[in-house]
Amino acid sequence: MKIVQVGCSGHFSKALAAIASRDDLCLAGFCKGCEDEDSSWFISRYKDKYGFAVYDDPEEMFDRLKPDIAIVNSYFYINSRISTSALERGISVYSEKPVATTLDELYTLRNVYEKSNAHFASMLESRCNPAFYSACCLIRDGKVGEILMVTAQKSYKLGNRPEFYKHRETFGGVIPWVGIHSIDWIRWLSGQEIEPVYAFHDKRHNRNHGDLETAALCVFKLENGGVASNNIDYLRPDGAATHGDDRVRVAGSKGVVEVIGGKARFIDSEGSWEIPLENERNPFELFVNQVSGGPACHISAEDSFRTTEVALKARDMADTCF
C-alpha cells in the first residue's frame, strides 16, 4: 500500500511506526504542507529510513504518486485544504485533529468526503490508549449503566511552542487542538451525541505565546439529558513527571469508571478495582486495515467530523461567553 505524508507538525509518529513494522506499507512521498512549515528536520531524520521522495507541492505529489493514503499533519489551519485535495483525488486521508479549524472548511471537507469513495479518519489516537480503550470496553459491556455525568481533563506543559501556535488563524485555539481529545472521550465513552452549552477560554500567563489560550472549560449536554464538562490547560508545571495529565470520569447509574495517571479504575456496588488493560493498538494500522477492506478503525469519518464540529462550536462559544 502506497502512503504519502503531508507536513510534519502533528502526530505522525504512530503512522510511521506502523509503516516501519509492515512490509506491505511504504512511505513513498513527503511534502511540507505550506510555505512556512519547517520540514528539513523531518527529511534529514526520516528520508533514509523510509526512502520517500520529497515534493514541493502536495497536489503534485498526489497526482504523481497516486497514493492509497495521505497522512495529513501540517500547520493546523491548512490541514483541511490538503485533506480536501486528497479526497477529491480518491486518496484516503489520515488527518491530524482538528480536521479543520473553521466550520466552513470543515463542511467543505465533509461534503467532499461524502462524494468520494475514500476513507477518512482523524488522529484521535487516545481511543487506542490501553486505559481509555479498556474503560470504553467496560462501558460498552453495560457495567456503568445509564451515563449521567462525564468529566474530563487535558492538562499539558506549555514549553516553547512554534510560531504558528501563537496565532488563532494558524493554530485554531486550545479547545480544538487540545480539548478535542476530551470532547471525543465524552462522545465516544458515553456513546451519545453532545452539544456545547457553555465554553470559556483564557490566554493569560501564556509566556509570550500570542493568542494561545492557557486555560479553557466547556460544558456539554448529553442527548440523554445528562451533562459533561472538560477542563483544559497549558498550566502543567515543568516539574511534573509527565507531559500530560489526561483524565476522564464517567458516572452512571450502576458504576463509575475513571481513567487517571494512565490507569483505569472501576467502582460498582461490589467493590473498587483497577481494570486489566487491553493491549495498545496502533491507530494507523487499524486505519490501513479499514482501507484494505477490513473492519472499521478506531474512529469513523462521521465521528472525526462531528467531534471537530463540536470543538469548533465550543471555541466559537468561548469567544463570546462571559
| Main-chain dihedrals φ then ψ at residue 108, nearest 5 degrees | -60, -50
Query: Per CB under 8 A, does 153 bind a copy of itself?
Result: yes
- Cell match 451525541: residue? 193
Query: Per CB under 8 A, does 240 bind a copy of itself?
Result: yes
Query: Per CB under 8 A, does 292 bind a copy of itself?
Result: no
**Nearest-angstrom CA–CA distance, 173 and 188:** 22
Cβ atoms 72, 83 nearer than 8 A: yes
- Which of 237/295 has CB closer to a copy of itself? 237
Query: Per CB under 8 A, does 251 bind a copy of itself?
Result: yes
- Which of 229/289 has CB closer to a copy of itself? 229
Count residues binding a copy of itself (CB under 8 A). Answer: 45
- Which of 66/205 has CB closer to a copy of itself? 205
Q: Which of the stretches 28-36, 169-177, 238-246, 285-293 binds a copy of itself when contact is defined by CB under 8 A?
A: 238-246
Which ranges constitute the DSSP H helices of 172-297?
174, 180-190, 283-291
Q: Fill in the amino acid letter for 180.
A: I
Query: Per CB under 8 A, does 211 bind a copy of itself?
Result: no
Alpha-carbon distance values, 165 to 80, 158, 160, 173 (Å): 17, 11, 10, 8
Cβ atoms 303, 188 nearer than 8 A: yes
CB of 175 to a copy of itself, least distance (A): 13
The interface mask with a copy of itself, positions 171-200, x = CB under 8 A, is --------------------------xx-x
- Which of 50/198 has CB closer to a copy of itself? 198
H or E, element range at 108 = helix 103-115
- Which of 26/148 has CB closer to a copy of itself? 148
Candidates 236, 263, 289, 290; binder of a copy of itself (CB under 8 A) is 236
Residues 54-93 close enough to bind a copy of itself by CB under 8 A: none
**Nearest-angstrom CA–CA distance, 79 and 104:** 13
Q: What SS3 state is found at 21?
A: helix
Cβ atoms 121, 298 nearer than 8 A: yes
Q: How many CB atoms are located within 10 Å of the residue 254 CB? A: 12
Query: Per CB under 8 A, does 283 bind a copy of itself?
Result: no
* Largest pairwise CA distance in the chain: 61
Binding footprint of a copy of itself on the chain (CB under 8 A): 145-146, 148-149, 151, 153, 155, 197-198, 200, 202, 204-205, 214-215, 217, 219, 221, 225-227, 229, 231, 233, 235-241, 251-256, 267-272, 321-322
